[in-house]
Structure 1
Amino acid sequence: MNAIRSPMAEALARTMLPATVYIASAGVRQGRRDPFVDAVLAERGLTLGERQPQRYEDLEDGYFDLIVTMAPEAHHVALDAAGTSSVEVEFWPMPDPSVVTGSREQILDAYRDVLKRIETRISGRFGR
């Protein structure tokens, strides 16, 4: 729903990759902004600004060299959308931290873990 993992990835990628790289995140369905995402990004000095969750079909530009998905449903939708185009589609499976229960700190730890996993994948993939 473009509310947790992909906005985290977008925020990280904007700081880790050159400014010349076009980065956008989108989901299969419209979601709501997740306050835990804002909290863990703020811990790193990152922000989504005024950005709101969006769907893939709402993106201004539909041409990409690479689409990264982090949930099985999103991966299947991305493969269908890519069709016969030359875009690469990669699946980086990430846990959904929104299913974690417990104290606020335990929930934040789950979000921090996902953020770190995404950071590691970006670094490994792009050498940053």
Structure 2
Amino acid sequence: MAEGLMKKLYGQKAYVQSAGVKNDMEVDGFSIAVCRELGIELSRHRSRSFEEMQLWGDDLSQFDLIVALSPASQRMALELTRFHHLDIEYWPILDPTGLGEAREAKLSAYRQARDQIRTKMLDRFGPPIEENT
């Protein structure tokens, strides 16, 4: 979700790669639905684990910033980058998985998480690029 929002707001201004502590491969259907509401297509998006990034040649030291959205990902990022100089920021975002029972309640939780991420991005990186708003 975060990678799609970043690309929508800032286009090619920055190279973005989403990664997690583990590889979930398929993007959650609720994430796809709430991002589609903003014109962001995630259905073909695949997430990677930090280990897969390294195996596939993404050198973490080439990144300027890692944004961790969970305490577990923050710990993993700190461990993997202990020999590299790059910034790691923790953004405490609502974890919508497992929240709500009915479809609309689940979508509401995912929208809240999506909007929290969007607000954090705007606060951190400034106004979006005109053609992507």
Taking structure 1 as the reference length, the TM-score comes to 0.88
Structure 2 unaligned regions, length at least 5: 128-133
What's the Cα RMSD here? 1.3
Partner residue of 2:21 out of 9, 16, 28: 28
- State the percentage of identical aligned residues: 35
In structure 2, distance between residues paired with 1:88 and 1:99: 30
In structure 2, distance between residues paired with 1:90 and 1:21: 17
Matches within 5 A, 1:26-105: 26-31=19-24, 32-59=26-53, 60-62=57-59, 63-105=62-104
Taking structure 2 as the reference length, the TM-score comes to 0.85
- Which amino acid in structure 2 is aligned with residue 55 of structure 1? S
Instruction: Give how far 1:53 is off.
Output: 2.2
Deviations 1:15-67 (A, max 9, x none): 11241410000011111421001100111111125221211122242221000
When Rg is computed on C-alpha atoms for both structures, the one with the higher figure is 2
- Which amino acid in structure 2 is aligned with residue 19 of structure 1? Q
Matches within 5 A, 1:100-119: 100-119=99-118
Structure 1 unaligned regions, length at least 5: 1-7
- Which amino acid in structure 1 is aligned with residue 58 of structure 2? D
In structure 1, distance between residues paired with 2:92 and 2:18: 16
In structure 2, distance between residues paired with 1:47 and 1:18: 14
Equivalences, count: 121
